[in-house]
Amino acid sequence: MASARCKLLFTFILFIFTIFPVSSQGLRHPLDPLSPEELTLVRTIVMDATSNDTIFSYVALDEPDKPLVLYWLSNPTTKPPPRRALAMTRFNKETHEFIVDLSTRAIISDKLVDDDQGYPILTLGERTEVAQLPYSFAPFIESMNRRGLNSSAAICSAYTLGWFGQEKTKRNVKLQCFYLNNGSVNYYAFPIEGIWMIANLDKMKIVEYSDRYIKPMPKSEGTDYRFSEQKPPFGPRINRAAVCQPDGPGIEIKGHMVRWGNWKLHVSFDAGAGPIISTALIYDEEAQRFRSVLYRGFVSELFVPYMDPTVGRFSDTFFDAGEYGLGYSAVSLEPSMDCPNNAVFMDGYYARYDGLPVIVPRAICLFEKNAGDIMWRHTETGIPSTIINEVRPDRSLVIRMVATVGYYNYIYDSEFKLDGSIHMEVGLTGILAIKATEYTNNHQIKEEIYGPLVSKNSIGLNHDHFFMYHLDLDIDGVHNSMVKRKLVTKRNRNTDTPRKSYWTVMSETPKTESEANFQYGLDPVQVLIVNPNKKTRLGNNHGYRLSPASFIHPLLTEDDYPQIRAAFTENDVWITPYNKSEKWVSGWYVDRSRGQDTLAVWSRRDREIDNKDIVLWHLMGIHHVPSQEDYPIMPTLKARFELHPNNYFERNPVLKLIPPEPVTPCNCN
């Protein structure tokens, strides 16, 4: 009996190791984000080599080489890859990039980065400090007095300046000031127009100032978005609702490893990208094993160019990940509001400007989504004296983070479904970028104002949102290929029927990057990532299909400086061979960069991609022409795409899904 118990215990431990790998250091996946203790250790090591004035712009895990990670995942009891950190810093007005070995507590690399390459992410500490400069700057105070405004009621923010052909750049930012008008907290609705103010971050000094004109301040009535400040009539009403799970939660979390349904994956938090999904595997009931789908997936960049080319606004062409950091912009999620009541939460950690760790409580939520959707169904009435109704309700796992970058709030959802599909969606809400104007009605306008009137004296500026996703798909292994599947119309040459036409599929497998990269047009094209070495019993290659839902093409000219920096938006789909250093499509040093280190530049090498370890880059987004409904705060707009199994399984993988038992109404108290 004792021997049987020991055997059972050993089997259970082996199962736990398989599902939730642990290392000799404890529950630690090689792609786990840096812990607060590790962030503190990095700070100590780097400061010992530099000075106490060092500014930490970005600190993150120095991702181990992919083969090392995959080997450890296959052999979880072996020693994990070396644990290292990347630290981008500024000191003595220079950018240094350090690689720190956390086990030996030593700096193994110190690279001096030329300012011509660009500057690292703006830290919140620097942005806060530089935004205080106008309050003691005499010309600004004089400008406020001329407008009849109290300078103490101004709120100033630091914005990146971009690059517009200069041979040399400095670490300068634009200061844009707004006004707290009659108690409204929506200060973005009250921009102080006509002032051009540039400050240098290294000197913490205003270095350029001009006051060219005065525009009337929009009225404050109706601009506050707080419910407590709204006036009757109210409505509509939302009745209370709750998710009830009588069988308990379906999500298991061990460290950063998540198990739900037939999925097993790793979720981490990064100061630049926000949420990163890694090593996603799906369990194939027929094959009785886990199979690889996604090695690494995250938002690599968010490019937001505004369409006002005038002196005060031309530089508003923002790279929200590379210049500000989506993780740095993460907010704590509100239970039962941002996420349903059945959600579980993960905290996020990052290093602030002085290197000390900062916690973002409830940075990520995970929840089972039950929206009343149908997974599959069929009603059959064709059999005599028989009616068949077979229905399966849909379920999915949602991983969510919200980033507030200036005006906008971005809701990032990664949704995993039991049929093997993955949906990526971004919701856009928050505040419009408003430009004050003297106009109060469209009939007064006789010039280009770069956006529609959304309220009296208020222009909602036209702009774009380009989201570029990094998707390192490993379809049943690392050696994958891209297949372009074109649907082509053909004339019917068969005279036995009256049909004149039909469509058929013509497939091609690009061999190099230049053959793979393309922009969706009018012709129907499907993109597949397949494993040419693995086939179903019928002889089809295992694969996944990209299903885009929101196309966006750049409308700036190719020689415009913001478009040179964002040349990665020229294609909806790019394919590159895996390269650890090719993580950020806009480059590692984006602030004031010149477009010399982007996906468009890497891809010019035209490397081989057939039957290689490849990365799919997909662009989605929105051209936003604001409307009055977007004011004073926007209802959520959405952009999305989906990844669907394509001959990955032998048959419908949820055919034998066990239907849930009926649930009696829960006591929501």
Q: Which residues are catalytic?
A: 320, 408
CA distance 343 to 381: 40
With b for 16 or more beta-carbon neighbours within 10 A and e for fewer, the 280-289 pattern comes to: bbbbbeeeee
Helix or strand run (H / E) with residue 471: strand 463-473
First to last CA, the chain: 47
Q: Cis omega (within 30 of 0) on the bond before 548?
A: no
CA distances (Å), origin 201, targets 14, 127, 128: 54, 8, 11
CA distance 403 to 333: 10
Burial of 334-358, coded b for 16+ CB within 10 Å and e otherwise, reads eeeebbbebbbbbebbbbbbebebe
φ/ψ of residue 228, rounded to 5:
-65, -20
Residue 275: asked if its preceding bond is cis (omega within 30°), the reply is no
SS3 for 136-181 is HCHHHHHHHHHCCCCHHHEEEEEEECCCCCCCCCCCEEEEEEEECC
Cα 283 → chain centroid: 26
Q: Strand runs (DSSP E) across 492-649, as ranges?
A: 501-508, 525-535, 541-548, 573-577, 614-624, 634-645
Classify residue 83 by burial, with Cβ atoms within 10 Å: 0-12, 13-18, 19+.
Answer: buried
At residue 324's C-alpha, the angle toward residues 318 and 328, to 5°, is: 145
- Take residue 352 and report the two structure tokens written for it: 């602030």
Counting Cα atoms < 13 Å in the Cβ hemisphere of 459 gives 23
Place of tokens 């973005």: 188
What is the rounded distance in angstroms from the CA atom of residue 535 to the CA atom of residue 526?
A: 20
Residue 100 and residue 108 in contact, taking contact as beta carbons nearer than 8 Å? yes
Euclidean distance between CA atoms 317 and 305, whole angstroms: 4
Q: How far is CA 177 from the centre of its chain?
A: 28
Give the angle subtended at the CA of 386 by the CAs of 383 and 389, to the nearest 5°.
100
Helix, strand or coil, per DSSP, at residue 40: helix
Residues 6+ apart with CB under 8 A from 289: 283
Tokens of 408: 């906008």
**Which contiguous run of DSSP H or E holds residue 12?**
helix 2-19
